[in-house]
């Protein structure tokens, strides 16, 4: 298309009323020129931007065709979406815009931009708009897709910020590689299933079903069990996934674990420590009593175990039979004040009692000199949270207060959440806002006399774009979802009167 044609299409897009632009921004502690250099490598986008599955281009050039493949808007949707676009605008170091014309009756612009905010900070923005009869026919899908792209892109910019803050380069050496093994395994299983149905052989069908089951297991492993190590500072690592996230702090002969996961995640944690030559573990902290943060204690029986007094009591009251069978690995060093300090080698580590938040005895772990804080489960970053309903369980107002207080007291800290990717203060505030919205909507429904079933139908949490999360509380598989969160909030408010 000629420049005049581009301008005409762009003017029609600007005037179109088929949709309002879907856009959003995030501010990051990365100089604009460094962020642009990392961004200007499209073939690396799938490493840090979760909406991209693959991208062919090695750099952005005006007039080039950008060729890539999108991830599905939900992990369990069975598609990958191929895309091709023309780069029609490029301001080096600042902005790129491409147009999508490959679909009948569909015209769209997508812009990524980076603004220099000074003082080593920048703003990353995603903007997208489409129009045309083809768009209108499938409008609901595209609005969800554009929202998915925006949210995942901003999440990706945060991931680049963490890479930068930990001293790594925003290139192929510093951004962790992406694995395609599970995708290839799933494709192989699907092909086997198709071949088996075509052959209509009993044994072939059994093999195909087994391969499909293996594919589901591999997806579950990749999504929830596989460990993702992140170096946060020299001698400070986060091991994400495999249950609750784990913070590893080492100095000299001392190694501290903040939360120890549960099997099989705890086995993977121990294997990672051995592979990295870290250990032996001399101290471990249970930030709260939940099994997915504490049952890995059994793998480190020689370590001193530390927790708040209320966490120790909750372990006996809520999960007493398990701890009775595993004496010797429960917390033996407890504190009952607002905070205490321990030493890991020469490192000062501060334990901060958060009050009654996600549970009655939540503790945050602050590696003071590194500016790294493990938050316990007051934040499930990007996921719906699990809410215990008994007295040792969740206080929503307490969780909101702790989130806002911590974000205000530590605006520059790197936060390791209880679940989900590494966060900054903005993610703590967003989680607080989500919980406030959930509580407000459910409270309004109850005030209007709505039943639980009616409240489940009335409350809408889609704007928060959270992911589901499995749990094995009470030795059965449950999922933290929008419905489970609404139900739990309704019951908590009902009990509070």
**From first to last of its 497 residues, what are the pLDDT tens digits of the chain?**
555 556 778 889 999 999 999 999 999 999 999 999 999 999 999 999 999 999 999 999 999 999 999 999 988 888 999 999 999 999 999 999 999 998 899 999 999 999 999 999 999 999 999 999 999 999 999 999 999 999 999 999 999 999 999 999 999 999 999 888 777 766 776 676 676 666 666 666 676 667 667 777 877 888 888 999 999 999 999 999 999 999 999 999 999 999 999 999 999 999 999 999 998 999 999 999 999 999 999 999 999 999 999 999 999 999 999 999 999 999 999 999 999 999 999 999 999 999 999 999 999 999 999 999 999 999 999 999 999 998 999 999 999 999 999 999 999 999 999 999 999 999 999 999 999 999 999 999 999 999 999 999 999 999 999 999 999 877 788 999 999 999 999 999 998 87
Interior CA angle at 401 toward 461 and 381, to 5°?
45
Residue for token pair 């997208």: 128
Q: How far apart are CA 289 and CA 291, in angstroms?
A: 6
Question: Tokens for 445?
Answer: 């429904």
Q: How many residues does the chain have?
A: 497
CA distance 100 to 109: 6
Let me know if domain 230-434 sits in CATH 3.40.980.10.
no
**Angstrom distances, CA of residue 237 to CA of 156, 248, 480:** 20, 5, 27
Strand partners for 349? 342, 367
Domain ranges within the chain, ordered by starting residue: 3-165, 181-223, 230-434
* Measured distance CA(220)–CA(281) in Å, rounded: 29
Q: Is the Cβ–Cβ distance between 347 and 235 less than 8 Å?
A: yes
| Nearest C-alpha neighbor of 399 from the set 492, 326, 328 | 492
Q: pTM score > 0.75 for this model? A: yes
For 3-165, which CATH class?
A: alpha beta
């Amino acid at each position: 298309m000629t420049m005049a044609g581009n301008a005409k299409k762009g003017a029609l897009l600007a005037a179109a009323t088929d949709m309002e632009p879907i856009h959003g921004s995030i501010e990051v502690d990365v100089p604009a020129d460094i962020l642009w250099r990392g961004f200007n490598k499209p073939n690396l986008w799938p490493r840090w931007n979760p909406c991209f599955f693959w991208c062919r281009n090695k750099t952005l050039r005006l007039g080039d065709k950008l060729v890539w493949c999108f991830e599905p808007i939900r992990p369990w949707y069975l598609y990958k979406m191929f895309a091709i676009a023309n780069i029609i605008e490029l301001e080096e170091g600042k902005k790129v815009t491409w147009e999508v014309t490959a679909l009948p009756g569909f015209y769209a612009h997508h812009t990524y931009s980076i603004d220099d905010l000074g003082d080593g900070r920048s703003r990353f923005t995603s903007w997208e708009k489409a129009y045309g009869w083809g768009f209108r026919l499938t409008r609901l899908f595209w609005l969800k897709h554009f929202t998915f792209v925006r949210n995942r892109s901003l999440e990706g910019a945060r991931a680049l910020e963490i890479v930068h803050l930990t001293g790594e380069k925003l290139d192929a050496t510093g951004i962790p590689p992406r694995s395609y093994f599970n995708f290839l395994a799933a494709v192989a299983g699907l092909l086997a299933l198709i071949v088996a149905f075509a052959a209509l052989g009993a044994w072939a069908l059994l093999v195909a079903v087994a391969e499909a089951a293996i594919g589901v297991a591999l997806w579950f492993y990749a999504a929830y069990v596989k460990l993702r190590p992140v170096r946060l500072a020299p001698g400070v690592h986060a091991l994400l996934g495999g249950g609750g996230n784990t913070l590893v702090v080492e100095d000299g002969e001392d190694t501290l674990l903040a939360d120890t996961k549960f099997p099989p995640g705890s086995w993977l944690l121990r294997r990672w420590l051995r592979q990295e030559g870290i250990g032996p573990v001399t101290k471990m902290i249970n930030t709260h009593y939940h099994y997915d943060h504490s049952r890995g204690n059994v793998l480190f029986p020689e370590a001193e175990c530390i927790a708040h007094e209320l966490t120790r009591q909750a372990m006996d009251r809520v999960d007493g039979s398990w701890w009775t069978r595993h004496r010797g690995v429960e917390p033996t060093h407890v504190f009952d004040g607002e905070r205490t300090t321990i030493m890991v080698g020469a490192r000062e580590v501060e334990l901060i009692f958060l009050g009654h938040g996600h549970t009655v005895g939540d503790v945050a772990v602050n590696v003071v000199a590194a500016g790294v804080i493990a938050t316990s489960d007051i934040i499930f970053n990007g996921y719906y949270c699990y809410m215990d309903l008994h007295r040792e369980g969740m206080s929503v107002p307490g969780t909101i207060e702790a989130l806002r207080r911590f974000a205000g007291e530590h605006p520059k800290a790197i936060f390791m959440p209880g679940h989900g990717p590494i966060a900054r203060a903005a993610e703590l505030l967003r989680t607080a806002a989500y919980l406030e919205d959930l509580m407000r909507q459910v409270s309004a429904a109850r005030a209007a006399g709505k039943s639980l079933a009616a409240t489940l139908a009335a409350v809408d949490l889609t704007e928060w774009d959270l992911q589901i999360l499995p749990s094995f509380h009470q030795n059965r598989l449950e999922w933290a979802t929008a419905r489970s969160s609404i139900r739990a909030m309704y019951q908590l408010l009902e009990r509070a009167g």
